[in-house]
Amino acid sequence: MQTPLQITFRDMEPSAAVEARIREKAGKLEQFYDGIMSCRVMVEAPHAHHHQGKLYKVRIDLGVPDGELVVSHEHHHRDRAHEDVYVAIRDAFDAMKRQLEDHVRKRRGKVKQHEAPAGGHVIALNPEEDYGKIGTPDGRMIYFHRNSVLKKDFDKLEIGSEVRFTEEAGENGPQASSVTPVGKHHVVI
């Protein structure tokens, strides 16, 4: 961290044990992502109005290169767990870790995207040698082996059968894995 960790206690006495726990949790965030520029944590014990005990509120402001991530764990009257300051701290840092993971994924361009499997038609079959070839809409020819066909449907394939597949690099060029027949007698899930 470029700026030292800042810990503030509001409406409660400072506690060395609580401060140590916060430093431990902040250190774990920094081990996960070393681009953290600053971290400010406020622990607040609001006055109990119509409630038996105090419900702790923990706020974390994390400075990162292109902005700030904020977690503010408000107390909820139904949530008695936050009567324990350590539980409130744990929950706030868990929420911050999730935010930080999302932030890191976005920065690295690894936002989850589900690619649709490629499609094509069987243009050649050689059952004696356990392979076939798929023609793709863009004119390419993709090799596949009997073991790549899901649900042991290799013997049900015919020239012209529509299939979906995952393409990967093979020893002799592109090849298909996870080949799934599509059509009236086949269902793709």
Write the pLDDT tens digit of every residue in 72-100.
Answer: 866 444 456 668 889 999 999 998 998 88
Pairing relation of β-strands 38-44 and 118-126?
A: unpaired
Give DSSP secondary structure letters for 95-130. Answer: HHHHHHHHHHHHHTT-----PPPEEEEEEEEEGGGT
Q: Where are the domains of the chain?
A: 6-107, 118-182
Beta partners for residue 182, in sequence order: 162
pTM: 0.54
Three-state SS sequence of 8-28:
EEECCCCCHHHHHHHHHHHHH
Q: Which of 118, 119, 128, 109 is nearest to 161 (CA)?
A: 119
Q: Which of 5, 2, 85 is nearest to 40 (CA)?
A: 5
CA–CA distance, 90 with 140 (Å, rounded to integer): 54
Do residues 134 and 179 lie in contact, with contact meaning Cβ atoms separated by under 8 Å?
yes
DSSP three-state, residue 155: helix
CA atoms 84, 90, 96, 102: torsion sign: negative
Three-state SS sequence of 59-104:
EEEEEECCEEEEEEECCCCCCHHHHCHHHHHHHHHHHHHHHHHHHH
What average pLDDT is seen over the chain? 82
Architecture of the domain delimited by 118-182? Beta Barrel (2.40)
Going residue by residue through the chain (189 aa), what tens digit of pLDDT does each one get?
778 899 999 988 999 999 999 999 999 988 888 888 999 999 998 765 544 567 889 999 998 887 888 888 664 444 566 688 899 999 999 989 988 888 888 777 754 455 567 889 999 999 999 999 999 888 888 899 998 888 888 988 999 999 998 888 777 778 888 898 887 554 443
Q: Regarding the domain delimited by 6-107, which CATH topology (the fold level of the hierarchy) does it fall under?
A: Double Stranded RNA Binding Domain (3.30.160)
Q: How many CB atoms lie within 10 A of CB 42?
A: 16
